[in-house]
Amino acid sequence: MLLPLVLALGLGTTPVPPSSSAEPGASTEGAVLAAGSPAAAGSTGSTTTRRRAATRRCKGRVALTFDDGPVPGTTTRLLRVLRRHDVPATFFVVGRRVREHPELVRAIERNGHLVANHTWAHEQLTARSDREVRATVHGTRRALQRAGVAPTRLVRPPYGSINPRVRRVLVRAGFVPVLWSIDSNDWANGSADQIAGRILRGLRPGPNVVLQHDGVNRSPISVDAVATVVRRAKRRGYCFTALDEKGRPGFHTPDVSVTVTPVVEGRTAVATVRLAGEAGRDTSVRLTVRSGTARVGTDLPARTTRVAIPAGRRYARVKIPTTADGTVEPVERASVEIDAPQGVRIAGGTASLEILPPGTTRTERVSRGAAPDRVWEPAVRR
């Protein structure tokens, strides 16, 4: 479960071309299944450096991607490495492993990374019928949703095996096929230094998508290469990003909306700013309370606040205190608005805040919140 960020207004604040090499060793069979605790990867840590690094002038952008997980031990250790070096990544996960280890995909998202689709059982899609192609990606998506994460629309065909037919089926099903520009060949051979060397030699100015694995036999060695890649690439002027909606190095820009629950006069309302999906970076909006029949400065605090949602979280909650004036009045209204988005796209920018008369019961408040469009008169206790 994602933890909310809570602010108090009353306190005052102002397409990349694929390489020619395929992915022949990326089978999910016989992968390392060493014991490990996913709880070790549960802390999101600081993400400020990551966001700033992604926006400064760069020689090129590097998107680290990892296939075939999640795997206990290996994926958990990889998350620690990425957190230590403050870089984002995209994980193309296998559906049946998601079903076995839902806590690991939750840890991936909680650490601010993107979760993408690598089919249910690592099938070669060019050898499957249209119906089977749809079934394997939709099954993986459902497993991710059941695990409580927000999967992207990105899908990587196992082995890089794709043709015009498979691409057409995936696109019509609402998915975006993603390959890579640098193949680490970590599944095949090489020490950690050799794997890092292959990646670093492949970097070019502009976009770079790196293929590694966290779910094959040699994945622990590949994880050992990550720190070297990050340190040396940064020294050479490269920046690290996730993948955008089209599978290019960058970041997703999810929709954001605001909702607010009805509140009894004199109590505190809660506005929720919610992302439609994971952004893979820090995001924020400006939140403003505006007068209606309830007046800002009298019934409500006059505040405009910047609301930040760190990478790895999908919502923030903002407390809005109201003032009791001792007068029995009908329902009063104000509005809560969000604008000036950073890293997000405004979808629902305004919510109505209803201030109910003193004495309104909890049942009546719930009824009011559940059916805001129907005619309703509160029962006032005198």
Residues marked as catalytic = 67, 213
Pull the structure tokens for residue 246: 């089209």
DSSP code for 357:
P
Largest CA distance in the chain: 79
Amino acid (one-letter) located at 1:
M
- CA–CA distance from 89 to each of 210, 237, 328, 370 (Å)? 10, 18, 55, 39
DSSP per-residue string spanning 301-350:
---EEEEEE-TT--EEEEEEE----S-----EEEEEEEEEEESSEEEE-E
Q: How far apart are the first and last CA of the chain?
A: 41
What kind and span of H or E run contains 213? strand 206-213
- CA–CA distance from 264 to each of 11, 120, 300, 353 (Å)? 20, 49, 12, 11
Contacting residues for 310 by C-beta, under 8 A, at least 6 apart: 5, 44, 47, 112, 282
